[in-house]
Amino acid sequence: MLKVRTIAYIVWLEMIRKKDAYVLLILLGALLCVLVSLNVFGLGGMVRYIKDVGLMMAWGFSWLLASAVSSRQIPQEEKSGTIYPLLAKPLSRFEFIVGKWIGTWTAACFATLMFYTLIMLVTAAKGGIFSMPSIIQGFILHCFALGIMTAIGILCSTRMNSDAAFSMTLTLTAASFIVSPRVSELVAKSSGIHAILLDVIYHVLPHFEVLDMRRRIIHNYGPISANIFITAIAYALVMSVTIIILAWLSYRKKRFSRSNIYG
Amino acid sequence: MSNFNKIYNTVKCSAYSPWLFLVLCWLTAFSLSCKLATASISGKGSDESGFGQLVAQGAGEALSVALAEKADVYFHGGIPRQSKKSFKNRFFQNIARNMAPDGHVHLEGDLMKETLPWYWLAVKMDPNNIENYLIVSYWVSTSLDDKKTAHEILMEARRNTKLHYEIEMEDANIYLKEHKLKEAEDALDTALRMWPSDQDPNEERARVGLVSLLMIKCLLREINADVDKAVACLRQILKITPDDQGVKQRLEELEKGKQPSLKARAILEEITHKTSEAVVCHRDEDEGEHDHEEHQHKHNQ
């Protein structure tokens, strides 16, 4: 466990140094300031649109951050040659993969916490409030969604360079966001092989809509029941662990070539 | 070497060349923006860049429609239109239904305010579309009970769009709710002069609009005990809708010398009240169809 924590700590240091999260935080702040400054027919007291756009941006930025940070971890280590001293230590490849995943996941969660805090402060400044149970549940489920995204990034990066892994991660997660929830509508309009393919996609791709509580939070529907909350978390954990195991299986026998390092 | 080349080489080799380049770019951008600003005021640019304007206009209209749709989603408590699904009760859908509730809800009262930012953006994207102005002024005057702001919104509609009778008709409706009968009558007269604006006079919507205008005008004349003009109005309505039994009955009563000004007030109050509740939503979730009449006036005659 200590080895996993050490690898995760290195990921944190790298993220702090690279300042990705700060840039996104500043962008989010600028966007929220623009929204707050709108003069809507001279009327005031509207906050749902700030919550809506703010949370959408929080999801979007955390998605980008999680994908970018997770997809560059392993390729960067291989490219710079630091993978050799790292794996020469009594560190298994499984611990290495899990450490990278935990590091990127927790770093992305912390950045998301900053985004949520900013949104809550701006909303409060405009006179709105969030239901605390709902927003806490929403944030926790968002974090578990980031766990799946970072796991996909780690999986892709075991066999691709960082750019390809980033693109693939974005594509897979975007497809999960956009296509998975709509498969039931698409199947209604399809038949034959198309319907079967859509069904396969439905069962293979992750379902982020079961971890997305934004509509409940924005429109004040209140928190979800404990059963549903735990079920959603369990699904996210199972999905993440499955993807990480696939990443380990992909990486455990991988051979490195020193001639490729500086190429 | 020419003088120009000498100067060019001196500047190129100077330590200040990046800054000079930056200043040159800024000056170019500034002068282009001035040219664009004056072109948009004088309208001279519109002939030269027809395709560009068309693209921008189309994009604005498309965005406006999308933003108005977003406002409609807000009106329905964040629940979007439901499409036909081939399966509804799988594991992920059951969980997702708890995360993002579905069903049929409407915002009411002060909460209607939350839809306004999207309508505001829709208006900014397509200022020439009167529908968004009419919907917003309706909700502001009814749910928010802010007649002053509703009038100001219609004033903005007049500034940004072509003169349209529906704007004046909505203004008259708001005056009626404020019990300002004189102002309502003036607005109705203006609307009647503008009718049918850009609508086809034989189109159903234009005919219904004209009948609404004439009916309210008739009731106002009855309230003012101006029976002859009220009868003239009713006869005009019968030319448009000859089978309307309610109007025929009313005409008979007035021609017999009955002075039902109290009844006219009651009917006008009822129409005004009915307008507030006459925004009907028909969302058929099972068939995945949506017939949402968000801004509909119904008049019981």
Decide: A59 and A140 in contact? Cβ < 8 Å. Answer: no
Q: How far apart are CA B226 and CA A237, in angstroms?
A: 78
Could you report the per-residue pLDDT of B101-119, keeping only the tens digit for each? 878 888 888 888 899 999 9
3-state secondary structure A126-162: CCCCCCHHHHHHHHHHHHHHHHHHHHHHHHHHCCCCH
- Decide which of B8 and B68 is more confident: B68
Q: Could you give the 3-state DSSP secondary structure of residue B81?
A: coil
Is B114:A46 a contact under the CB 8 Å cutoff? yes
Give which of A128, A71, A77, A130 is closest to A101, Cα–Cα: A71
Is A42 touching B (CB cutoff 8 A)?
yes
pTM over 0.90: no
Yes or no, beta carbons of A216 and B101 under 8 Å apart: yes
Most confident of A103-112, B175-184, B208-217, B232-241: A103-112
A218 interface with B at CB cutoff 8 Å: yes
Is A246 a residue whose pLDDT tops 90? yes
**Contact (Cβ atoms closer than 8 angstroms) between residue A120 and residue A131:** no
- Distance from B54 to chain A by nearest Cα, in Å? 27
B6-17 burial, b at 16+ Cβ within 10 Å, e below that, comes to eeeeeeeeeeee
pLDDT tens-place string over residues B9-60: 766 666 667 777 777 788 788 777 776 665 555 444 444 556 667 677 778 8
- Interface check for A221 against chain B (CB to CB < 8 A): the answer is yes
- The CB-based long-range contact list for A240-243 (8 Å cut-off, 24+ gap) reads A240/A101, A240/A144, A240/A147, A240/A148, A240/A151, A243/A148, A243/A151, A243/A152, A243/A154, A243/A155
Q: Using an 8 Å Cβ cutoff, are A95 and A4 in contact? A: yes
**Which residues on B lie below 8 Å from A216 (Cβ)?**
99-101
Which two three-digit tokens encode residue B22? Answer: 């930056």
Q: Which residue in A49, A212, A219 is closest to B77 by CB distance?
A: A219
Q: How many CB pairs under 8 A join A and B?
A: 92
Provide, as residue numbers in chain A, all residues whose Cβ is less than 8 Å from the Cβ of B146.
43
* Nearest residue of B to residue A38, measured between CA atoms: B117
The CA distance from A134 to A140, in Å, is 10
Assess A40–B contact: CB distance below 8 Å, yes or no: yes
Pairwise CA distance, residues A211 & A207, whole Å = 8
For the beta carbon of residue B277, count every other beta carbon within 10 angstroms.
Answer: 9
d(CA B196, CA B202): 9
Q: How many Cβ atoms from other residues are within 10 Å of residue A226's Cβ?
A: 9
Chain A residues whose CB is inside 8 A of the B96 CB are: 181, 207, 209-210
Contact check, Cβ <8 Å, B95/A235: yes
Measured CB to CB, residues of chain B less than 8 Å from chain A are 74, 77-79, 83-88, 90, 92-93, 95-96, 98-101, 110, 113-114, 116-118, 120, 136, 140, 144, 146, 149, 152-153
Q: Which residues of A touch B153 (CB under 8 A)?
A: 41
Q: Pick the residue with more confidence: B201 or A246? A: A246
DSSP string, A77-137: HHHHTTHHHHHHSS--HHHHHHHHHHHHHHHHHHHHHHHHHHHHHHHHHTT----HHHHHH
Interval A105-131: pLDDT, tens: 999 999 999 999 999 999 999 888 899
Distance in angstroms (rounded) separating the CA atoms of residues B68 and B75:
10
Q: Which residues pair with B292 in a beta bridge?
A: B281
Contacts of A184 in chain B (CB under 8 A): 85-88, 90, 93
* Min Cα separation B291/chain A (Å): 19
Q: pLDDT for B158-169, tens place per residue?
A: 998 888 899 999
Percent of chain A whose pLDDT exceeds 90: 54
The residue among A121, A101, A97, A109 whose CA lies nearest residue A29 is A121
Compare all CA atoms of chain A with the CA of B122 and give the residue at the minimum distance.
Answer: A40
Query: Which chain B residue shows the shortest CA-CA distance from A218?
Result: B78
Determine the 3-state secondary structure of B297 from DSSP: coil
Q: How far apart are CA B187 and CA B195, in angstroms?
A: 12
